[in-house]
């Protein structure tokens, strides 16, 4: 719990003594890495931070250290950056007269006892062949010399930016086993995240009075446990995906930190950490409590939204359709719950502005939006149902807009596909009114006049709907379905699709409620014609969409259900 996290300028490193331990490989940066660092610093322009005396800074990746018994800092991670920093400082120092040169930090390699003397005698053209480490170090120094050898280069400006406006993320660990820390950090070379760095800010003992050690340990434990509970809740995909469309991050609590950092720089991986580091400028218990309470308030608001079924579905829908969590939080700040719900309804209505159900066709962007909302509002209208739409499944998987009836221009292509299609259709053709079709299928020879037979069978199952080309792509003949199920039955006739959907749901596949209602003939008059999609079915289905969504489409009648 006593880890120290801070931002240190390059200039602050100059008084320190570093040891590169034997478990690390030696210096291996080449020309590209060294040049990239020099270019980044050179291109960076510090700007005044509003309402402060400070300027912005260029941030380097973390340097992870552990103070050992010899008053040295053992470098657990970041030795490539640290060695390069030394080489740049050394070059800048060599440009000064000897009496004006500054003291540089000490850099020792556990496996190379003469590194300090070697570093003190670096020369531009002195590429060393003594060992592999010295070769890379001397080559890097030669690259630095060549980079600076440009006409009219502003050394003074670079020197100032590098020393005072370039900072490293300083992570000082007090764990006993530095090798274990190094291994953990370097498996897959996963960098420290903003969340991990911010957690260290909260749990840093230096934020508390030293005379209250028991209270410090207790509060650190409380924050750590609360932190873990928040992270565990956000790791639940059901909770996460109603708040997010597709943004997956390792430490999901970072969502809250990013929301708090309203001026996040998308080009700076550690912008959010820098924001919190500034908030912790006054390191005291009050600052910790104030910032932690703000984080908890964000989380508690999300829990409230998740816990109320209407808020869950409408917020989940709006996020899916492009509304940001930031917008929703801002709108909920000074509104009562009733006012916030009214805002959600207005937002949904705004998203459907200009939509006319009669005009919606297959391929229209708003068709998917309307069918999703239709499913959500149908669920909400059943006040006795506590089920929730699984946004995590909907947002992670691929979903199609599927024709309820077959489409005549999607004819099976291969011989095998044609034979399978005919066999599936034959199972549902009734003997009394389909005997002629059954005879044609029985006497069908491979590929012979298949297209004509295909169209005849489609017309049979679609009860002549197929002849009405203007409605086949209408929303009254469309449903929402996962792409795997859709691909599974290709362009099957209605009863085969119905059979496939029932089978998939039994196997655990999520079938949206309204899609299931459609194929189970919930919109049909009794007794239903289970193998056919009729004109009556289509009209009843459309009327239900119109009834359920009427409140969001002012020009159409709406029901008086929930919401």
Instruction: Look at the alpha carbons of 114, 119, 123, 128 in this order and tell me if their dihedral is positive or negative.
Output: positive
- What is the rounded distance in angstroms from the CA atom of residue 442 to the CA atom of residue 6? 80
Name the one residue in this structure whose structure tokens are 């910032």.
Answer: 291
pLDDT given at position 283: 66
Residues 275-299 pLDDT 10s = 888 888 776 778 888 999 999 999 9
- What is the rounded distance in angstroms from the CA atom of residue 123 to the CA atom of residue 87? 11
- What is the rounded distance in angstroms from the CA atom of residue 496 to the CA atom of residue 424? 7
Region 91-110 average pLDDT: 92
Using N-to-C axis directions, what is the helix angle for 213-235 and 285-307, rounded to 10°?
30
User: And the tokens for 60?
Assistant: 């380097």
CA distances from 4 to 70, 169, 202, 495 (A): 19, 11, 10, 66
Distance of CA 331 to the CA centre of its chain: 23
* H helix intervals, 126-243: 132-148, 155-164, 178-186, 194-203, 213-235, 237-243
527: preceding bond cis by omega (within 30 degrees): yes
User: And the tokens for 445?
Assistant: 């020879």
Residues 504-547 pLDDT 10s = 899 999 999 999 999 888 887 776 677 778 888 889 999 999 99
Q: Alpha-carbon Rg of the chain, whole angstroms? A: 34
Contact 498, 405 (CB under 8 A): no
Question: What residues contact residue 193 under an 8 Å CB cut-off, 6+ apart?
Answer: 249, 250, 251, 254
In terms of residues, how long is the chain? 563
Name the one residue in this structure whose structure tokens are 């919606």.
Answer: 360
Question: What residues contact residue 228 under an 8 Å CB cut-off, 6+ apart?
Answer: none
Kind and range of the H or E run holding 482: strand 478-482
CA dihedral angle for residue 441, residue 443, residue 448, residue 454, rounded to 10 degrees = -10
- pLDDT, greater one: 112 or 301: 301
pLDDT surpassing 60 at residue 454: yes
- What is the rounded distance in angstroms from the CA atom of residue 124 to the CA atom of residue 142? 5
pLDDT given at position 153: 87
- What is the rounded distance in angstroms from the CA atom of residue 305 to the CA atom of residue 314? 10
What's the predicted TM-score (pTM) here? 0.74
CA dihedral angle for residue 220, residue 222, residue 223, residue 227, rounded to 10 degrees = 130
| Beta strand pairing call for 73-77 and 17-20 | parallel
Lowest pLDDT segment from 129-138, 333-342, 374-383, 485-494: 485-494
User: And the tokens for 542?
Assistant: 């459309």
pLDDT given at position 32: 94
Residues 345-400 pLDDT 10s = 999 999 999 999 999 999 899 999 999 999 999 999 998 888 999 999 998 888 88
Region 147-176 average pLDDT: 89
User: And the tokens for 482?
Assistant: 């996962």
């Amino acid at each position: 719990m006593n880890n120290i996290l801070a931002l240190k300028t390059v200039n602050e490193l100059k008084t320190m003594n570093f040891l590169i331990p034997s478990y690390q490989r030696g210096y291996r940066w080449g020309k590209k890495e060294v040049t990239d660092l020099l270019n980044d610093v050179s291109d960076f322009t510090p700007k005044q931070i509003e309402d402060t005396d400070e300027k912005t800074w260029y941030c380097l990746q973390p340097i992870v250290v552990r103070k050992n018994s010899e008053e040295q800092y053992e470098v657990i991670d970041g030795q490539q950056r640290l060695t390069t920093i030394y080489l740049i400082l050394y070059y800048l120092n060599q440009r000064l007269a000897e009496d004006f040169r500054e003291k540089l930090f000490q850099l020792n390699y556990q496996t190379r006892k003469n590194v300090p003397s070697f570093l003190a005698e670096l020369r531009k053209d002195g590429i060393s062949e003594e060992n592999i480490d010295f070769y890379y170090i001397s080559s890097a120094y030669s690259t630095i010399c060549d980079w600076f050898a440009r006409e009219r280069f502003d050394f003074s400006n670079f020197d100032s930016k590098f020393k005072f406006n370039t900072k490293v993320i300083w992570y000082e660990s007090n764990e006993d086993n530095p090798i274990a820390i190094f291994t953990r950090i370097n498996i897959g070379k996963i960098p420290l995240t903003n969340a991990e760095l911010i957690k260290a800010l909260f749990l840093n003992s230096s934020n508390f009075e030293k005379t209250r050690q028991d209270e410090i340990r207790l509060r650190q434990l409380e924050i750590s446990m609360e932190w873990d509970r928040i992270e565990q809740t956000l790791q639940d995909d059901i909770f996460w995906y109603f708040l997010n469309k597709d943004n997956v991050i390792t430490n999901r609590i970072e969502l809250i930190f990013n929301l708090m950092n309203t001026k996040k720089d998308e080009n700076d991986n550690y912008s959010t950490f820098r924001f919190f580091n500034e908030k912790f400028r006054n390191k005291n218990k009050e600052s910790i409590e104030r910032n932690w309470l703000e984080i908890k308030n964000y989380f508690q608001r999300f829990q409230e939204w998740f816990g109320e079924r209407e808020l869950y579905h409408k917020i989940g829908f709006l996020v899916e359709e492009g509304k940001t969590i930031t917008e929703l939080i801002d709108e909920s700040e000074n509104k009562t719950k009733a006012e916030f719900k009214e805002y959600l309804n207005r937002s949904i209505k705004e998203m459907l502005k200009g939509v006319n159900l009669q005009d919606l066709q297959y391929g229209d962007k708003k068709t998917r939006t309307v069918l999703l909302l239709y499913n959500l509002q149908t669920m909400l209208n059943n006040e006795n149902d506590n089920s929730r739409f699984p946004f995590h499944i909907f947002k992670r998987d691929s979903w199609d807009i599927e024709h309820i009836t077959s489409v005549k221009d999607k004819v099976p292509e291969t011989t095998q596909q044609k034979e399978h299609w005919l066999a599936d259709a034959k199972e549902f053709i009734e003997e009394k009114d389909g005997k002629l079709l059954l005879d044609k299928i029985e006497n069908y020879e491979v590929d012979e006049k298949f297209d004509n037979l295909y169209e005849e069978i489609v017309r049979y199952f679609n009860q002549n709907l197929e002849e009405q080309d203007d409605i086949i792509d209408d929303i009254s003949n469309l449903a929402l379905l996962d792409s795997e199920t859709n691909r599974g039955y290709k362009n099957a006739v209605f009863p085969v699709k119905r059979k496939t959907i029932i089978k998939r749901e039994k196997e655990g596949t999520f079938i949206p409620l309204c899609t299931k209602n459609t194929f189970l003939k919930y919109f049909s008059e009794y007794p239903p014609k289970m193998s056919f999609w009729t004109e009556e079915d289509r009209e009843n289905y459309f009327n239900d969409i119109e009834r359920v969504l009427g409140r969001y489409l002012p020009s159409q009648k709406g029901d008086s259900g929930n919401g």
